[in-house]
């Protein structure tokens, strides 16, 4: 799990890792903008076939919202497009609340957060990778076109305040599902308060089963690769291919059926095997064989691992 630094796209970070470890195939799960840092799952070799399931996991972020203005990108990289009467600029680099106490601000935020839990309707930012008529939304927005994306339902399990770095900034922690945009949370929360807001700090702390303790920086990875005992040290940070599939039911096959599946053939299941499953991790002799689906008691191969 890479601790992606600020200033790099996820693709650039992936390229650096792939070059360092000399991997033929590599992929990442859950894109982070250059503004964002933190946990970026990197898959190497056959593990690239599991990227989809890494992206489907719940994610945890910490982010700081600057109150008082909204930007075109919903973060500090965009131009200010609206300002709030609730805040006043004391100088170029400081915005202060107008006639609001900290107690009142905290109370207002706590009340607003009640609407940001569970299944929430959210409109993605105009500057996002969502496709509109075959074009990326951010490409259209950068070309000056009006981009109005449809709202969609996202899952927010928890959203809490963890700090107030300045009188006009609040830091939150959120646990959310696939497709949730933290920048949209900041924008919508700012509008709900009447304060307006945009993200000035964003860091991802967890993706599915992976946590901050699993992360390694590019600097540390570079040091390990160039150390005399690089092969042994790298084996200590690489996770088995099935680690990202912890939430998927497993199915063990005996030799004849395992051979059939390896050749892309279906397998008629017997005994206590489930009659239906959208996806299962298929194993043979304790080793992952691939991913399959079950329909009417018949196992069909989806993605097989060449291990």
Catalytic residue IDs: 33
CA–CA gap between residue 18 and residue 44 (Å, rounded): 8
Q: Which helix (H) or strand (E) holds 156?
A: strand 152-166
Give yes or no for a contact between 305 and 289, defined as CB atoms under 8 angstroms apart.
yes
Give yes or no for a contact between 280 and 293, defined as CB atoms under 8 angstroms apart.
yes
Helix axes 10-21, 218-225, angle to 10 degrees: 10
Give yes or no for a contact between 173 and 58, defined as CB atoms under 8 angstroms apart.
no
Give yes or no for a contact between 158 and 116, defined as CB atoms under 8 angstroms apart.
no
**Count of CB atoms within 10 A of residue 287's CB?**
12
């Amino acid at each position: 799990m890479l601790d992606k630094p600020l200033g790099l796209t996820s693709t650039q970070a992936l390229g650096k890792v792939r070059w360092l470890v000399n991997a033929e195939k590599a992929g990442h799960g859950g894109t982070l903008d250059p503004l964002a840092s933190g946990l970026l799952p990197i898959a190497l070799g056959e593990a690239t076939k599991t990227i989809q399931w890494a992206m489907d996991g719940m994610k945890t972020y910490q982010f700081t919202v600057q109150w008082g203005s909204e930007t075109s990108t919903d973060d500090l990289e965009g131009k200010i497009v609206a300002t709030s009467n609730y805040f006043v600029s004391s100088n170029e680099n400081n915005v202060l609340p107008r006639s609001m106490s900290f107690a009142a601000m905290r109370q207002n935020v706590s009340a607003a957060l009640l609407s940001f839990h569970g299944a929430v309707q959210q409109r993605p930012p105009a500057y996002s990778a969502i496709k509109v008529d075959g074009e990326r939304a951010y490409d259209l927005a950068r070309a000056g076109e009006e981009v109005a994306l449809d709202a969609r339902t996202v899952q927010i399990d928890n959203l809490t305040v963890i700090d107030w770095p300045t009188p006009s900034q609040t830091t939150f922690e959120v646990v959310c599902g696939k497709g949730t945009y933290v920048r949209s949370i900041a924008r919508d929360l700012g509008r709900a308060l009447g304060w307006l807001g945009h993200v000035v700090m964003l860091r991802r702390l967890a993706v599915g089963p992976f946590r901050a303790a699993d992360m390694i920086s590019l600097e540390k990875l570079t040091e390990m690769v160039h150390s005399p005992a690089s092969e042994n040290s790298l084996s200590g940070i690489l996770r088995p291919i099935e680690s990202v599939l912890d939430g998927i039911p497993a199915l063990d096959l005996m030799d004849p059926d395992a051979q059939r599946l390896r050749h892309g053939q279906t397998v008629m299941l017997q005994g206590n095997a489930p009659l239906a499953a959208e996806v299962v991790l298929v194993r043979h002799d304790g080793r992952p064989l691939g991913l399959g689906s079950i329909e009417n008691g018949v196992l069909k191969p989806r993605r097989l691992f060449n291990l």
